[in-house]
Each structure stands twice: as C-alpha cells, then as structure tokens.
Amino acid sequence: MWRYLKRLLIGKPLKTTDEGGQALTKFKALALLSSDALSSVAYGTEQITTVLITLSAAALMYQLWVAALVLVLLFAITLSYQQIIHAYPSGGGAYVVATTNWGQPAGLVAGGSLLVDYMLTVAVSVTSGTDAIISAIPAISAHQVGISIILVLLIMGLNLRGMRESASMLTLPVYFFILMIFVMIGWGIFEIVTGHVAYHASAAVGAPVQGMTLVLFFRAFSSGSSSLTGVEAISNAVPNFRKPKSHNASATLAIMASILAFFFGGITFLSYYLGIKPMADNTVLSQIGQAVFGHGLIYYLLQLATAAILAVAANTGFSAFPILAYNLAKDKFLPHAYLDRGDRLGYSNGIISLAVGAIFLIIIFHGKTSLLIPLYAVGVFVPFTLSQSGMIRHWFRVREGKWGLKACINFLGAFISLSLVICLFLLHFGNVWPYLIVMPALIYMFYRIHRHYMNVARQLRISENSDTVNHHYDGATVIVLVSDVTQVTAHAIDYARSVGDYVIAMHVSFDENPRKEHKTAQKFKVEFPDVRFVDIHSSYRSIITPTLRFCDVIAKRAAERNFTTTVLVPQFVPRRPWQNVLHNQTALRLRSALNTRQNIIVSTYSYHLKR
Amino acid sequence: MWRYLKRLLIGKPLKTTDEGGQALTKFKALALLSSDALSSVAYGTEQITTVLITLSAAALMYQLWVAALVLVLLFAITLSYQQIIHAYPSGGGAYVVATTNWGQPAGLVAGGSLLVDYMLTVAVSVTSGTDAIISAIPAISAHQVGISIILVLLIMGLNLRGMRESASMLTLPVYFFILMIFVMIGWGIFEIVTGHVAYHASAAVGAPVQGMTLVLFFRAFSSGSSSLTGVEAISNAVPNFRKPKSHNASATLAIMASILAFFFGGITFLSYYLGIKPMADNTVLSQIGQAVFGHGLIYYLLQLATAAILAVAANTGFSAFPILAYNLAKDKFLPHAYLDRGDRLGYSNGIISLAVGAIFLIIIFHGKTSLLIPLYAVGVFVPFTLSQSGMIRHWFRVREGKWGLKACINFLGAFISLSLVICLFLLHFGNVWPYLIVMPALIYMFYRIHRHYMNVARQLRISENSDTVNHHYDGATVIVLVSDVTQVTAHAIDYARSVGDYVIAMHVSFDENPRKEHKTAQKFKVEFPDVRFVDIHSSYRSIITPTLRFCDVIAKRAAERNFTTTVLVPQFVPRRPWQNVLHNQTALRLRSALNTRQNIIVSTYSYHLKR
C-alpha cells in the first residue's frame, strides 16, 4: 500500500543514467538562480520601514538613505562575487572558498551557517509568500502558520518527485514577477510625473527628524540588508553555465544585480513618496500595488507574481541544501544517509531534513517574516564574510594580474559583511541569539561525526600484516534453540546439520510444568537420536540469561577446537503480519541479545506458515 | 536505565518456586473476596435514588420497595451460588460453568462479558472511590477523571509488584469499612429511636406518589441491582479455602450475603428516613454519615474507609482478570502473551491490559459512576444468567439428591438475572448499547485467534509419515553479501567457509562510479583468490531487488544439488547505539526482504567495533 502511495506521489523510479546535463543559457540561468535575490524585494523595503516606524512616521524618510547604503553594499558584493566566479570556475560556494583559504574549521562554520541559512531561506520565502497571499485575501490571515507549512510540504513534494522536468517551468514565475515589478515602478513613476498620484511622504528628504539616532539607522540598515540574500547563488553554479562559463556567469550576475538595484530603489522610492506605513495584514509591496494599480485585476496579478517568485525562491533552498549536505557527508561531517539518492534521483534525505527544519523555524517564529529576518541575515553574512575574506588570502597567495585591486574589492565586501554581522548581533540580539547556540552545536556534531567515521574506517581497513585475515577454521559448531519439537525444529535441525560439523540442541525449561519439560526431551530424542540435547533449567522464567550463558560456554569450547559458533534461532512466520502479536517475540529478543557477542554468529531459520 | 527503573518500581524478579499456596480461613476469605460485593453499598442506594429523584422528591419513598426487591434477589442469588460452590469445588467461574453446561459459545459470551466486567469493576470502584474522596474534600471535584486515573495506575503498580506480601494487609480496609458501616447504621438507628434525629422523609410509606410508573420502578431496580455485583467472587475461589473447602466457602458466602443485606437495607432505610437527595459532589453515603456523625473526625474516617474498600474492590478486578485471561489464552482464545508471568510472578500483560481498559472506560464516561453502572450491571448479570441456567442443565444431567429443588432455586436465580438483563436493555439502552458492539467484536476476535492457533498447531505438528523430516542435505551454499572489502568482509568470508561447502561473494554495483566498482572486484580477488565473486549491476540504485533475484537463482541451483542456501549479511556494530544513525540500514532491509523466502536462511555476521 505504502509503495503504491509513494509511487503515486513521487513517481516511478529513475535510472541513474537518466540524469542528463543541460548547460544553462543566461536567460534561463537568470530565472533559475536569481529568484532568491529578486524575491527579496518583496520584504526588503518592508523590513526597513518596520524598524523606522518604531520611532515615528517622519523617520520613514530615512528609508531612502538606508536604501542608498544597501545599494552601495549590493555593488560591492556583486564585484566581489564576480571575482569569485573567475577564481573558482568549478563553483565557489562559501564552504569551498572558506575551506580552501581558511582551512577546515572556517569551512565548517560557513557550511553550518549555510545549512541553517537554507532552512531560513525556505522559511522566510514561504512566510513572506503567505504574507503576499494574505494581503490579497485578508480573510485567511488567521491561518498564516498553517498555510506556510502546507506550502513547504508542497514544495518538498515537488522536489522529491525531482525538479528536472519542471525546471523550465520555473522561469515563468520569475519573468512574470520581473515584468510586474517593472510595470509597477514604471507606471507608478509615470503617475507621479503626470500628477495622478499625490505626494504623501511623511517628511521631506533632509528634514530633521526628532529622536533619530545612528543606532536606529543601523538597525534599519541591517534589517534592510536582507534584500541582498541570494546574491551568492550564481557564483555557486558556474559549472552549469554555457561556455565561456565564467564570463556568462559574471554577466548574469551583473544583470541580476542591476535588476535588483532598480527594483529595490524603485520600490523604496515609491514607498517613501506614497507615504506607506507597514501594516500587519498588508505588505508594503501590496500597498504600493494598490496605490498604483487600484484594487483590480492587475493588483491581484502582482500578488500572485510575488507569491509565485517567493515559492521559486524557497525552491532554490531545496536545490542547494541537499548538495551542500552531500558535500559535507562526502567529507564525512554529516551522516552517509545524505549521500543516498531517492527513486527520482533527488537527495531525498536532504530534501526532507530541509523541510522539517523550515517547518520547525516557521512554528517557533509563529510564521512571522520580520522575526525570521535578522537570523536569516546572520546566516547569510557570516558565510559572505568568510568567503570574501578568504578571497583576500587567495589573491595574496596567487599574486597575478591586478591582484592588489582585486584584494581591495574583496576586502571591501568582507568589511561590509563583517560590519553587518556585528550590527546584527548588537542591534538585533533578541532575534539572533539562537545562532550562538545552534552553530557551536552543529560544529561539535560535525566533528563528532567525522571522528566516528575516521575511527570506523581505521578499524575496518585490512592491513597487510594482520593475522586475523584469511583465518582458516576447522569446522563449525551450531547451537539450535529448541522451544518445542515441531516442524520448525525438525527443519532447523536438518539445516543445522548441513552447515555445522557439530550440532547441539538447547532447550530452556521452567519449574512450572516438569512433566511437560521431560516430554520435550523425550520427543526430541525420538526424532533426533544422534543430536545432543541440552536442557537448561531456569528458575526466573527468563530465557535470555541462561541461553547467553550456555552459548558463551559452547563458543569458548568451539574456539579451543578452532570452530566457529553459530546460534540458529528457529521461528515461524505467520501468513499475515497482524498474527505476529499472537506469538511471543522471544526469537527477536534472543537475536538482539546474542548479537552483542563478537564470537557468536546469529542465524534465523524462518519457517513460513501457509495458512 | 529502563532496567533500573523497572527494578525500582516493580522489585527484584522472583523464582517460580517462590510461589507458595496459602489456604484461606473464613475470616481472611471474607476480607479478600467480599470487598467487591460489600463496597457496592457505597453506590447501590445512590443509584436507586438518582433514578427516583428524576420524578419527584416524594418518589424517593419507593427506594424502600426497590431495596426490598433487591434483597429478595440477593437471597435467591446467594442460594444459587451456594449450589455452584458445592457442584464445582474446583472453582465455578461463569466461564467454566457456562462452557461445561452450555458449550463453548456460551462460555465465550460469559468470558467476554467478564473481561469487560472486570474492567468496569475497576472503573466503577475507582470512580466511586474518587466520589467518596471528593465528598470529603469538595475543593478537588474538578479533577475527578485525573484522580481516578492516578488511582488505577497506583493499583496497577502494586499488582505488577505482586500482591502476595500485601494480601493480609488488604483485610484491614475491609474490616475497617465493615466496622464503620455497622457503627453508622447502629448509631443512626439509636439516634432515631432516642429522637435525636428528626424524621425528614419526603413521603410516608404507602403514600400515593403522583406520576409513579412501573417503568420508573424497574429502572430504579435495575440500577440498584448493581449492589449485587461481586457476589460471585467466592464461588470462583473455592480451591483456595481451608478444608472442608465447599463447606467453608458456602458459609463465608452466607456471612457475606447477610452483612451485605444488613448494610444495604440499613443504608437505604437511613437514606429514606433522613430524606436524603442525591447530589453531584456529595454521595448519599457521605450525606448519611454527615447527618449521623456530624462533620467531625468520625465522618472523615467513614469516607476514608469507603475509599479504601473501593480501592480493594478495584484490586479484586486485578486478581481476577489476569486469571480469566490466562484461562482464555490457555484455551487459545486470547494471545499467548497472557500466559507469560512477569518478574514478580504476576501476569503482567493481563494486569496492564486491565488498567488500560479501565482508564479508557473512565475517560469515555468522564469518570461518572452513574453512567458506568448500567453497563457494569449488564456485564455482571449476563454471566450470572448463563451460569445459573447452566446449573439447571447440570441438575437435569446429574439427577441426584434433591435435584428438582436445586434446579428450581437455580431457575429462580437465572430468571431474575435474565429479567434484570432485559430490564437494563429496555430501560437503560442509552448507556448499555456499547455492550452490543463490544461483545460480538470480542467473540469474533476469540474465534479468529482460536482458528489461527489451531492452524499453526496443525502446520507445526510432526506427522509420522512426513518425508520432510530428517532430510539429509549434501552440503551448504553460502552467499556473502559484500559492499566493500574490509575487515568485516574478511571475517565474514572466513566464517562462511567454516559453515559452507560452496561460498559465493555477491556485490551490487551502481552506475555512479564504475572505476570504484572495478576496484572492489580487484581488491576482493587479491584477498580471496579462491572465492567466486559476482558483481550484479543495478540501474535503479536499489540493492534489494537484484540481491533477491540473484539469491533466488543460487537457491534454486543449490536445491538441485541437495544443498541448503544461506545468505550471510556482514554488518558492523558501532560501539554506541546512537552511532547507528550514521550508517545506512541496508543490512536490516536486506534481512527482512530475504526473510520472505522459505528456502533461504539469513545469517548475520556482526563485527563489533571497539571504538
């Protein structure tokens, strides 16, 4: 039943060779790799205004200055990442760059941050998508957490099916969103220029705002920096581009950064000009849309486009997380289970872990985007800092071309990223502190897992001069556990004689019914006169302890004769699984108890009942 | 950890021979076997008044007539059971008497009824005990269900520890209760006679009561019949009495019935005379106590005695249920698990099943005694009817002594019991209907289980002329599953050669890394040049299917050569259990897949890691 259900939901298994490489054109790459970054504009401006409104409506004026600083940051980071693209044409994820240039520990910090970060990408994109849906349909605002969880499960399901067939389908929402935002900004500015939309800004640019502090400004800035999440995606995916790979990737990054800059700038300007204040059930982007388009069809299309690109952005987490988990597992820092592919070639365990993590985050943060943002930003900018600063080392090591200039650019990127991380910890500590608990725990786990795998590998390796290998035994002792003389016992004894040179039958008897016990021994001797029958008496109605004790003695004697010791546990298998509850599970308990012995091999004789 | 906890709560295991028989004196038997019956007075009168008050306060006068009829019923049933005691000196439970005289189906109806009935005994006694506690301490009335569940778990814990050591301790609450009720009735009548207590009856005996109907009268009567629950206990326990067993048991039953009659009559009279009306948080018995003793120490002692005897009554369910389950399991109508004794000689599975059932009943009936009573009464009087009517058949078969008179007495018992069952179904259908669903389900289950055990026994039996027994095989083929060439493989191959005449190593390779696969084969051939190595290629990354297919082929060939087939699954066991999550569980899945094959024996080679 489970198999059919799985087949229905996931689709039929694919062969490994079914996997085909397809090189990405710039057009397709832009769609596939930029959704995370571009969708950030759905919540970036909102995060800035949410901080500023805590002071006053007039303070909203400062969103323009904060946005300007974010755009500078975007420019610096774009330049930095273009350098990474050229330096690491085989894909320069933060884990790789940090490991190569700063060593394993820094790489693990970057890797751990990114694992958490991808969970946050999914959580933030989905909750923000839910915000967009709720803005359009306020009636369902009470079900925010539920809707978000269902969305995560849906995207997980699609990924378990495998995304290959639908990859080109994903370009649609991205270009739809790009189109809608272009139209919105263009139409909005046209309306402003033609005077159809009134000037509602709560304060003029440059007007003094009472109570404005540098702390508040940087709080707003660090929240707004969440608009830059996802910029690194292209640098990780260089090998997937058409040739010349690095050139194409770099150009795509430039195009994406330009669009992002235009969108972020335009939206923030409109937000300022229209005097929009953040509201609980109506996102800033939705309010701008309503102001520009009115409450008609085009507005609903905008919300649909926003929700759709956020879903695609969440999906990028589902592409990236399993690959990172795969790389960490290959380096033996995560369980091997992340190396296994599912029926549809996706790394199912990674996909499921990510969904579980994202749902967990959504639940503990009550599905509130603004509470998730600071943690998300930390998770993004810590690896940024590590990879950018790693690049400085890279240039100092390589020393070719204009390496001094390039190092300066990366220094700028690293500096801004580091400043942001410090800002976030100082100004948003209340939301960011879990990072300080989760990261050390993750790093500790990585090392524990690594040490275990190393230990196991060392113990399993066959060394040249080991005397244990190719040991030749002179024979095999087989102990058959007998509870009663039945068909099962008879077949098991026949089998035992085929594998063993010396067969012993062992029976545990209790006080309760001495006559019956005697009968078992007699019956056995009639059936198998040539097999030694040992009756062990137990006063405590426990089968396990006397059996273990007896088997240990026999195993010791067998070892003295250079024999192996096998314990054969006969059991019958009822035709229907529910019938197992009608039979005692002694065989199971005996097997697990005997499995603790190094020198005893446990074998099960299964007799299948026909009715 | 679990073991230490269990040892702490349950105590150290006991030897089977530790069980000592102790013959019961009348004094001790009265205490041990009468708690269920005597404690019924704590709720019997209350059930009558609860029904009558639905008409009017004046109708409460009829409780005297109802009580009179209940006393007649008690007399008839006592006589009937005295006859059962003499006819079945080895213990005449309803299951035995009904099975012997009416055949297996009737016995199963009686047995099934009693299984449910014991759960109801526990549920009713415990909720009624909770009522007594709440009457004394009304502040905790909101926690009725919680208190009842805790009481059930406490009594279960005591029974899992084994009750032997505390059996004599149980006599204390019973005699304490007998003393308290004697004093209460005596003192109450003394006060009435001396005129210290005023006459408050809501209507004089014989006064016409408007709206009184026969239906209401019999509703009250059938509720009041719950006072007779537990009368059968002595007849089940005849073998435990001192010699002359039947005589002593019969005398004890007579004493118990007399006390019960006096208590029930006295309490009902006081309830009538004092004009007591049933209340939610104050039981009738508690109200009488307050009226007679005032609100002082003696009243609290009365409540304590009531709660204590009800706890002992619940405990009788815990003695009787596991023994009945044992008998049903011995006759192969319940799972064998009920035959197993726990560490402390109690039938742990029966004890736990009973507690779970009682807690379930308490929860679905919200811990309300009056809702449980009608179902309880049905569960009691159905087996009564079956065993009493069975006795009529018994006398007609035996035809000795005054068998005609005896048959008449049993006919009276059977007739009254049957009338009561009909009354309950007609007048309390709303509370009794679950019986009509549970009983057929139980009977069906009994027969399914029985058929299964019979089927199994037939298939396992060794028949004289069976050709499968003592088959001599010419050798053993052993297939070793190899994932990689490690210490585990090496040891497993060594072992395989000790048991097998023909050893094959099998490896499943995937597309992903053809070079690595080739290396595994090479490495193996270097280490084991004389073992055949088969590399099976899988395109779907599934190990199970190709392994099964290969093993089936080899097993067929082995059978042709008269060889047995063993599949050896090598695995390593990490030192700590948590480390298992770091290794894939392929071995487990392979084992369970291979276990579906009749002709393949699965053996596990466990290599224990030291670090």
Reduced to 3 states (helix: H, G, I; strand: E, B; else coil), residue B603 is strand
A239 found inside a domain: yes
Query: Is there a contact between A197 and A188 (Cβ–Cβ < 8 Å)?
Result: yes
Test B598 with A581 for CB contact under 8 angstroms.
no
Last residue of a domain, one of B435, B451, B467: B451
| Omega of the bond leading into A244 within 30 degrees of 0 (cis) | yes
Test B511 with A16 for CB contact under 8 angstroms.
yes
Test B462 with A487 for CB contact under 8 angstroms.
yes
Is the domain of B418 the same as that of B502? no
Q: State how far residue A585 is from chain B, nearest Cα, in angstroms.
A: 9
Distance CA B487, CA B471 (A): 36
Contact with chain B for residue A563, Cβ under 8 A: yes
Contact with chain A for residue B2, Cβ under 8 A: no
Q: State how far residue B338 is from chain A, nearest Cα, in angstroms.
A: 10
Q: State how far residue A352 is from chain B, nearest Cα, in angstroms.
A: 16
Is the domain of A501 the same as that of A401? no
Candidate from A16, A341, A539 with C-beta closest to B539: A16
A180 found inside a domain: yes
Contact with chain A for residue B510, Cβ under 8 A: yes
Q: Which of A204-213, B80-89, B260-269, B494-503 has the lowest mean pLDDT?
A: A204-213
Instruction: Inform me whether the pLDDT recorded for B130 exceeds 90.
Output: yes
> Whose CA is closest to A496, among A544, A565, A550, A562?
A565
Residue B98, phi then psi, degrees to nearest 5: -65, -40
Is the domain of B144 the same as that of B201? yes
B470 found inside a domain: no
Test B336 with A584 for CB contact under 8 angstroms.
yes
Is the domain of A436 the same as that of A508? no
Nearest-5° Cα angle at A335, A329 to A340: 70
Q: Give me B534's structure tokens.
A: 């088969």
This complex has an ipTM of: 0.70
What mean pLDDT, rounded, does chain A reach? 85
Spell out the residues 6+ positions from residue A395 whose beta carbon is closer than 8 angstroms to its own: A403, A404, A406, A407, A410
- Chain B hits for A587, Cβ within 8 Å: none
Q: State how far residue A91 is from chain B, nearest Cα, in angstroms.
A: 21
Candidate from A473, A478, A609 with C-beta closest to B456: A609
Candidate from B341, B499, B601 with C-beta closest to A500: B499
Test A487 with B511 for CB contact under 8 angstroms.
no
For B44-93, the three-class secondary structure string (H helix, E strand, C coil) is HHHHHHHHHCCCCCHHHHHHHHHHHHHHHHHHHHHHHHHHHHHHCCCCCC
Restricting to A residues 579-608, those with a Cβ less than 8 Å away from any Cβ of B are 579, 581-584, 595-596, 598, 601-608
- Chain B hits for A472, Cβ within 8 Å: 494, 497
Contact with chain B for residue A191, Cβ under 8 A: no
Residue B436, phi then psi, degrees to nearest 5: -70, -20
> Whose CA is closest to A215, among A509, A529, A428, A487?
A428
Is the domain of A96 the same as that of A223? yes
Is the domain of A251 the same as that of A393? yes
Query: Is there a contact between B101 and B393 (Cβ–Cβ < 8 Å)?
Result: yes
Spell out the residues 6+ positions from residue A498 whose beta carbon is closer than 8 angstroms to its own: B473, B474, B475, B476, B563, B564
Contact with chain B for residue A572, Cβ under 8 A: yes
B395 found inside a domain: yes
Query: Is there a contact between A151 and A311 (Cβ–Cβ < 8 Å)?
Result: yes
* Radius of gyration, alpha carbons of chain A: 33
Query: Is there a contact between A105 and A16 (Cβ–Cβ < 8 Å)?
Result: no
Spell out the residues 6+ positions from residue B429 whose beta carbon is closer than 8 angstroms to its own: none
A214 found inside a domain: yes
Average the pLDDT over A266-290 and give the result.
89
Query: Is there a contact between A106 and A390 (Cβ–Cβ < 8 Å)?
Result: yes
Distance CA A175, CA A187 (A): 18
Is the domain of B244 the same as that of B279? yes
Sheet with B600-608, edge to edge strand ranges: A532-538, A502-510, A475-481, A563-573, A600-608, B600-608, B563-573, B475-481, B502-510, B532-538
Candidate from B495, B539, B581 with C-beta closest to A17: B539
Which residue of chain B comes nearest to A478, CA vs CA? B499
CATH code of the domain in which B487 resides: 3.40.50.620
Per the structure, how many domains does chain A have?
2
pLDDT tens readout for residues B230-263: 888 788 778 778 878 888 889 999 999 999 999 9
Is the domain of B401 the same as that of B519? no
Instruction: Inform me whether the pLDDT recorded for A112 exceeds 70.
Output: yes
pLDDT at residue B98, as a whole number = 86
pLDDT tens readout for residues A560-581: 999 999 999 888 888 887 777 7
How many residues comprise chain B? 611
Distance CA A504, CA A430 (A): 69
**Number of neighbours of residue A91 by Cβ within 10 angstroms:** 18
- Chain A hits for B488, Cβ within 8 Å: 460
pLDDT at residue A302, as a whole number = 92
The band of B564, judged by pLDDT with boundaries at 50, 70 and 90, is very high
B94, B116, B427 from B372: Cα distances, Å:
22, 12, 15
Q: Which of A87-91, A219-223, A386-390 has the lowest mean pLDDT?
A: A87-91
Instruction: Inform me whether the pLDDT recorded for B354 exceeds 90.
Output: yes
Candidate from A468, A582, A595 with C-beta closest to B491: A468
B31 found inside a domain: no
> Whose CA is closest to A137, among A281, A264, A329, A290?
A281
pLDDT at residue B255, as a whole number = 92
pLDDT at residue A360, as a whole number = 92
Instruction: Supply the range of the domain harboring residue A486.
Output: 475-608
Test A491 with B468 for CB contact under 8 angstroms.
yes
Restricting to A residues 397-436, those with a Cβ less than 8 Å away from any Cβ of B are none
The band of B33, judged by pLDDT with boundaries at 50, 70 and 90, is confident
pLDDT tens readout for residues B266-303: 999 999 988 888 888 889 999 999 988 888 899 999 99
- Chain B hits for A574, Cβ within 8 Å: 452, 456
- Chain B hits for A541, Cβ within 8 Å: 13, 16, 340-341
Is the domain of A425 the same as that of A480? no
Spell out the residues 6+ positions from residue A582 whose beta carbon is closer than 8 angstroms to its own: A574, B335, B336, B449, B452, B453
pLDDT at residue B9, as a whole number = 57
Instruction: Inform me whether the pLDDT recorded for B594 exceeds 70.
Output: yes
pLDDT tens readout for residues A493-537: 989 999 989 999 998 887 666 666 678 888 888 888 888 999 888
Test B602 with A601 for CB contact under 8 angstroms.
no
- Chain A hits for B474, Cβ within 8 Å: 498
Q: Which of A28-37, A334-343, B433-442 has the lowest mean pLDDT?
A: A334-343
Which residue of chain A comes nearest to B478, CA vs CA? A499
The band of B305, judged by pLDDT with boundaries at 50, 70 and 90, is very high
Q: Give me B473's structure tokens.
A: 């095989």
Is the domain of A181 the same as that of A273? yes
Number of H helices and number of E strands within chain A? 22, 5
pLDDT tens readout for residues B462-487: 775 554 457 788 899 999 998 888 88
Which residue of chain A comes nearest to B448, CA vs CA? A579
Distance CA A481, CA A503 (A): 11
Test B16 with A461 for CB contact under 8 angstroms.
no
Place of tokens 């779907």: B540
Restricting to B residues 247-306, those with a Cβ less than 8 Å away from any Cβ of A are none
Q: State how far residue A121 is from chain B, nearest Cα, in angstroms.
A: 27
Contact with chain A for residue B455, Cβ under 8 A: yes
B25 found inside a domain: no
Is the domain of A210 the same as that of A351? yes
H-run or E-run covering B480: strand B475-481
Test A487 with B460 for CB contact under 8 angstroms.
yes
pLDDT at residue A9, as a whole number = 57
Test B606 with A583 for CB contact under 8 angstroms.
no
Contact with chain B for residue A461, Cβ under 8 A: yes
Q: Which residue has the higher pLDDT, A343 or A308?
A: A308
Q: State how far residue B2 is from chain A, nearest Cα, in angstroms.
A: 16
pLDDT at residue A262, as a whole number = 94
Note the Cα B48 to chain centre separation in Å.
29
Place of tokens 């639940």: A363
Query: Is there a contact between B163 and B315 (Cβ–Cβ < 8 Å)?
Result: yes
Q: Which of A14-23, A260-269, B404-413, B590-599 has the lowest mean pLDDT?
A: A14-23
Q: State how far residue A221 is from chain B, nearest Cα, in angstroms.
A: 42
CATH code of the domain in which A346 resides: 1.20.1740.10
- Chain A hits for B470, Cβ within 8 Å: 490, 494, 527-528
Restricting to B residues 329-358, those with a Cβ less than 8 Å away from any Cβ of A are 335-337, 340-341, 343
Q: State how far residue A346 is from chain B, nearest Cα, in angstroms.
A: 12
B493 found inside a domain: yes
Restricting to A residues 466-485, those with a Cβ less than 8 Å away from any Cβ of B are 466, 468-476, 478, 484-485
H-run or E-run covering A196: none
Which residue of chain A comes nearest to B343, CA vs CA? A540
Candidate from A15, A471, A606 with C-beta closest to B494: A471
Is the domain of A445 the same as that of A593? no
Q: Give me B213's structure tokens.
A: 């109907």
